[in-house]
Amino acid sequence: MPSIVCTAKASYKKLPGTLELTDSHLQWTQDGRKNSVRVPHQDASSLFCSKEGAAQVRLKLGLVNDDVGHNFTFTTTPQEVAYSERETFKTELTNIISRNRSSGVLAAASAQTPKGPVTAASTLTPSKAATPAALPASRASTSRATSVVSDGRTPILSGQDAATVFRLRKRVLFANPELLALHKELVMGGQITEAEFWDGREHLLLAEAATENQKRGRPGQLVDPRPQTVDGGEVKIVITPQLVHDIFDEFPVVAKAYNDNVPNKLSEAEFWKRYFQSKLFNAHRASIRSSATQHVVKEDPIFDKYLEKDDDELEPRRLRDEVSDLFINLGATLEDHVETGNERDVTMQAGRQRGALPLIRKFNEHSERLLNSALGDAPPSKRRLVSGGDVENPFSEIEYDDLQDHESSPGILLEMQDRRRYFEGRLGRVGAANGGAESSREVIDVQNAFKDLLSRMNGWEGRFSQLKIEKKSSEAALSSMTQNVAARLDIKATKSDFPPGLFRQLTTCQTAANEFLRQFWTSIYPPPSDLHTPIPTAVQRSAKAAKMAGYLVKTHEKVDALVRAAVLEGVEGNRVVIAMKPLMDAVEHALAFHRGRSTALGGGASPEKPGSKLV
């Protein structure tokens, strides 16, 4: 059964009942009846509470696809107890919701593997597996993880210290409940080590590290505080710390003015008040209308000092270095030859709309600033080195990629025994087939065949009318069909899932066995070359394979135990066997392989030897 995190008396739609928070669901049961409301954790998206001191102690849970959500009223008396109960729910649910949000779109359908007492594993660490809440449990796992990390065999991602790796692992586990459950069972159950668990899962950590390093960029919009008109004709601008920061960032001159004047000459509030009334502010506004309002604005001795001339000349006020990349250097074309010809007509002379020029420059500068805030403002020459590509291939910009024949690589030779014989045999077979086809083709005479067909078609109408379908067989067919449908319907109707407890045990057994299989095969296959983790030696790997094989052997017993348990619960044991069949096949296969390998390589007694041969 799912472990219950907390529980309380609560009414839902004015019906009394019990509210329970398990580690997978929030569940409300009406008194004396069956379950009526069940919300999986993934669906929880928002939480609302009634104010303290309100007549009723309420809790509202918003759902991912349903903002209306569910309303629960805590009914325990006295009210203080109800409060504390609600607080418990609140903290737990807040955790769940924030986890939901951080994990983004965790498909609501994905079944959450429940934790709980499990077969073999739980016996080893009963206290920890039984810890009810998700949070403390994971904390317990962390303490364990560190101890494993310290054993020195942990594959540490290159360039990252153990602490970072540990943090990443934690995050991955939190984001992935199934993995968390598996981890809990296998690692904390002591069956495999932390390092082994993560071996082959480095990509998850790398992906997590990548997402962690990806910072959200600044929003693109221009800093342009627009005054709101309040009744009475006054304007109002709400200043937030964020706005202040943005203004300082966008207009360093304001920051300078602030440093010069606050708090000696002006108070903070006065500074902003005067700034928003000054010409300076109007010059900073991203609008060409501001020039029209210029005459309305009062003179301000303090701010007018900082006023700069409008940047509306054809040449920008701030001169910049030339772009060195000739592929995009427009100035070079302009200077390529002496200017000739008549001047361009009025509409084609750039910069005739004087008022728009400061605005346009502001756009370009703002965009550049945003880019630099994300990419750093290294000089262009350096930038190119960093971006790579260009250095290796000077023609990368002009090359036509699709004209290159990438497919003509020699390819990898398929290694197989006695290749020549295979091909010869194939050739022979193909030849024979061809020969056969040819000879048969010679036999077929189209005209004859056609005539033959025609003659056979003669009198088809008469024969068609004589066609009779025997009653008996048709009835038999129909009845068998009906039976089939009925049987299916029956199965469908009666198809009851395994009891939840058993089902959970089944899945746990399967995921565990899968993990063992994964570990087994990774220790058999040659290690991937692209990961920057220390590659275990052959001896280590074969030892690991042997260990995993040992675990896999036990799968049989486990399944048998499950079958027995199923019978006890009133489920046909056969169904369990069928359900576990693919797994058993895989296990059998792995074991057979292991046995075959050990015996093939000298008696099978020394698992170290085959490993060394593998490499």
**Which residue, 269 or 314, is less far from other proteins as judged by CB?**
314
**Which residue, 321 or 418, is less far from other proteins as judged by CB?**
321
Tell me the C-alpha distance between 26 and 5, whole Å: 10
Please select the residue that binds other proteins; options are 67, 405, 461, 470, rule is CB under 8 A: 405
Largest CA distance in the chain: 116
Tell me the C-alpha distance between 311 and 364, whole Å: 13
Tell me the C-alpha distance between 461 and 443, whole Å: 31
Residues 158-217 interacting with other proteins (rule: CB under 8 A): 217
Tell me the C-alpha distance between 157 and 165, whole Å: 7
| Dihedral sign computed on CA atoms, order 298, 299, 302, 305 | positive
State the nearest-atom distance from the C-beta of 205 to other proteins, in Å: 23
**Which residue, 264 or 347, is less far from other proteins as judged by CB?**
347
State the nearest-atom distance from the C-beta of 322 to other proteins, in Å: 6
Q: Bridge partners of 49?
A: 59
To the nearest 10 degrees (0 to 180), the angle between helices 162-175 and 134-149 is 150
Residue 46's CB is within 10 A of a number of other CB atoms, namely 15
State the nearest-atom distance from the C-beta of 356 to other proteins, in Å: 4
State the nearest-atom distance from the C-beta of 401 to other proteins, in Å: 6
Q: Is 110 in the site for other proteins (CB under 8 A)?
A: no
Residues 259-288 interacting with other proteins (rule: CB under 8 A): 286-288
Residues 467-526 interacting with other proteins (rule: CB under 8 A): none
Please select the residue that binds other proteins; options are 14, 34, 236, 320, rule is CB under 8 A: 320
Inter-residue contact 248 to 258 (CB < 8 Å): yes
Structure tokens at 340: 């000739």
User: Burial, 196: exposed, middle or buried (Cβ in 10 Å; 0-12, 13-18, 19+)?
Assistant: buried
Tell me the C-alpha distance between 73 and 91, whole Å: 17
User: How many residues sit in the footprint of other proteins (CB under 8 A)?
Assistant: 71
Please select the residue that binds other proteins; options are 124, 163, 356, 478, rule is CB under 8 A: 356
State the nearest-atom distance from the C-beta of 339 to other proteins, in Å: 9
Q: Name the one range near other proteins by CB under 8 A: 75-83, 175-183, 298-306, 332-340.
A: 332-340
Tell me the C-alpha distance between 608 and 544, whole Å: 10
**Which residue, 105 or 346, is less far from other proteins as judged by CB?**
346
Q: If you write DSSP's letter for every residue of 269-333 in order, what string do you get?
A: HHHHHHHHHSHHHHHHSS-TTHHHHTTTSPP-TTGGGG------SSS-SS--PPP--TTT-HHHH
State the nearest-atom distance from the C-beta of 365 to other proteins, in Å: 9
DSSP state of 534: P
Cα 482-488-492 angle, rounded to 5 deg: 140
Please select the residue that binds other proteins; options are 292, 323, 449, 568, rule is CB under 8 A: 323
State the pairing for strand pair 35-40/44-49. Answer: unpaired
Please select the residue that binds other proteins; options are 124, 235, 292, 374, rule is CB under 8 A: 374
Inter-residue contact 564 to 577 (CB < 8 Å): no
Residues in the chain: 615
Please select the residue that binds other proteins; options are 38, 128, 153, 361, rule is CB under 8 A: 361
**Which residue, 98 or 387, is less far from other proteins as judged by CB?**
387
Structure tokens at 60: 């509202």
State the nearest-atom distance from the C-beta of 405 to other proteins, in Å: 3
**Which residue, 255 or 288, is less far from other proteins as judged by CB?**
288
State the nearest-atom distance from the C-beta of 286 to other proteins, in Å: 6
Q: Name the one range near other proteins by CB under 8 A: 141-149, 167-175, 363-371, 529-537.
A: 363-371
State the nearest-atom distance from the C-beta of 320 to other proteins, in Å: 6
**Which residue, 55 or 403, is less far from other proteins as judged by CB?**
403
State the nearest-atom distance from the C-beta of 102 to other proteins, in Å: 22
Residues 221-250 interacting with other proteins (rule: CB under 8 A): 221-222
Binding flags for other proteins, 334-353, as an x/- string (CB under 8 A):
xxxxx-xxxx-xxxxxxxxx
Cβ-based neighbours of 173, under 8 Å, separated by 6 or more = 138, 141, 179, 180, 183
State the nearest-atom distance from the C-beta of 523 to other proteins, in Å: 34
Residues 52-91 interacting with other proteins (rule: CB under 8 A): none
Binding flags for other proteins, 287-316, as an x/- string (CB under 8 A):
xxx------------------------xxx
Q: Name the one range near other proteins by CB under 8 A: 131-139, 392-400, 449-457, 462-470.
A: 392-400
Inter-residue contact 266 to 274 (CB < 8 Å): yes
